[in-house]
Amino acid sequence: MRSTKAISAVERLKTRSGNANYAAVGMPGGLFYLVERFTEGSKKLSEPLPMDEFVALVNAREPAKPRKVSKLDLAMEEQIGRSGARRAKAPEGEA
């Protein structure tokens, strides 16, 4: 089984957290666990998990970076909100 998916998840975690000491350790049978490396050794942060569960654990470890929102995105969300408010008011006025 290829470990690219697990390693990519750890690379994203490193980017989100700013901590380059995270690493994925692969075991026989397609199991992975997360470690944090230090100069004195390493600390095991999870139990061995199948790849999909490992990726889910790593993705949930640190919050995702806030999404960049452009002025056009904000204007569109505002327009959608206004049009939704108009639709909600229309049936009440007709009744």
Residue 90 lies in a domain: no
Q: What is the pLDDT of residue 88?
A: 59
Q: What is the pLDDT of residue 64?
A: 67
- Domains in the chain, number: 1
Q: What is the pLDDT of residue 90?
A: 55
23: CB partners within 8 A, 6+ apart: 10, 34, 35, 36, 37, 42
Residue 86 lies in a domain: no
Contact 22, 10 (CB under 8 A): yes
- Its domain, for residue 9, covers 4-61
What are the residue ranges in the chain where pLDDT is below 50?
Answer: 1, 95
What angle, 0 to 180 degrees and rounded to 10, lies between the N-to-C axes of helices 51-61 and 4-17? 10
Give the burial string for 21-33 (b: 16+ CB within 10 Å, else e): ebebbbeeebbbb
